[in-house]
């Protein structure tokens, strides 16, 4: 197992997230949790592509994921809907900078349009970003109306603040930062350094959406959910092991230390109740992944 394998090739876990969105999109309207017509373009792994060749194959893939990994599929696709809603609300509130940290193969830049000029910073490791950039340019709608800025960053080695400022980020304007599906794969030191950088970058009133996993999932032997243990095993097997987990109290404390007020913690059950209450019994499972929504407090900007 090589934890730095992601530096040399596009992230497999990012492809698997895109595959889950693509598989769900292919399902009938009454079973579908999301509509993402672009996701399948970013899946090149032969096994994952085979799961997308036909809606029936995708249904089998979704069923297998549900049985093997509890609520992972529903969480991944509904997390995308939650961040879409956060982005829409931010634009309506006048925010014109979106920062996607560890953007992976998220397609929000393709799926959303804004009535005002918007700048989207796609921040990720070089190998994943290069692959995404090529496909993105081919798919990009002519009327997208947003400026896309590609920012290469290794959260373990680079200074996030420097990378964003060097690429035109305006710290005097509010922003929405989306950091989804990333913290689990980083060391705690890298996470704290990134939060400190965001504290220095984000103007008061900016929002941060991040997600985290329970700490017992990182130590696979004591995770209560078999699905969580299998997810941790698979991530490690693909060279992208889980490294850090948090409790809700941990996240509240970390964010508060750097001037962010945590407004909500949203788990799988919360997402199902919000977006797909009819599917609650079908999809509810172990709630070991959580989204946190935080706001940059009004006050003196901190230095990392």
Domain-located, residue 15: no
Domain-located, residue 27: no
Please list the rounded mean pLDDT of every run of 10 residues in the chain (304 residues).
52 94 95 94 96 97 88 93 94 94 93 78 94 92 81 96 97 97 96 96 96 86 70 85 94 96 95 89 76 86 52
Domain-located, residue 174: yes
Q: Provide the pLDDT for residue 283.
A: 66
Domain-located, residue 63: no
Domain-located, residue 302: no
Domain-located, residue 250: yes
- Given a contact cutoff of 8 angstroms between Cβ atoms, the answer to whether 289 and 182 are in contact is no
Q: Can you give the CATH number for the domain in which 164 is found?
A: 3.40.50.150
Domain-located, residue 290: yes
Nearest to 228 by CA among 182, 269, 285: 285
Domain-located, residue 44: no
Which domain does 80 fall in, by range? 70-296
Q: Provide the pLDDT for residue 3.
A: 42
Q: CB-based contacts of 208: which residues, under 8 Å, 6+ apart? A: 176, 177, 179, 198, 202, 255, 260, 292, 293, 294, 295, 296
**How much is the pTM?**
0.91
Counting the structural domains of the chain, the total is: 1
Q: Provide the pLDDT for residue 280.
A: 78
Rounded to whole angstroms, the Cα distance separating 236 from 250 reads 24
């Amino acid at each position: 197992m090589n934890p730095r394998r992601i530096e040399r090739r596009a992230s497999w876990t990012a492809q698997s997230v895109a595959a889950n969105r693509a598989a769900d999109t292919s399902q009938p309207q009454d079973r579908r949790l999301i509509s993402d017509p672009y996701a399948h373009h970013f899946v090149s792994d032969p096994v994952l592509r085979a799961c997308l060749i036909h809606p029936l194959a995708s249904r089998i893939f979704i069923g297998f994921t549900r049985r093997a990994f509890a609520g992972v599929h529903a969480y991944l696709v509904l997390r995308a809907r939650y961040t879409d809603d956060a982005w829409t609300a931010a634009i309506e509130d006048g925010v014109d900078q979106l920062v996607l940290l560890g953007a992976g193969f998220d397609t929000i830049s393709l799926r959303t349009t804004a009535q005002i000029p918007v700048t989207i910073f796609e921040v990720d490791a070089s190998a994943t970003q290069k692959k995404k950039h090529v496909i993105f340019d081919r798919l990009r709608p002519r009327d997208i109306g947003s400026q896309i800025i590609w920012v290469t960053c290794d959260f373990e080695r680079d200074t996030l603040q420097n990378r964003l400022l060097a690429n035109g980020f305006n710290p005097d304007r509010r922003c929405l930062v989306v950091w989804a599906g990333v913290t689990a794969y980083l060391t705690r030191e890298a996470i704290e350094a990134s939060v400190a950088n965001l504290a220095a970058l984000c103007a008061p009133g900016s929002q941060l959406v991040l997600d985290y996993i329970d700490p017992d999932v990182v130590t696979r032997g004591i995770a209560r959910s078999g699905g969580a243990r299998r997810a941790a095993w698979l991530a490690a097997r693909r060279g992208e092991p889980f490294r850090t987990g948090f409790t809700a109290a941990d996240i509240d404390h970390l964010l508060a230390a750097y001037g962010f007020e945590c407004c909500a913690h949203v788990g799988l059950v919360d997402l199902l109740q919000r977006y797909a209450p009819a599917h609650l019994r079908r999809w509810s499972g172990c709630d070991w992944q959580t989204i946190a929504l935080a706001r940059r407090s009004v006050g003196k900007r901190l230095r990392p």
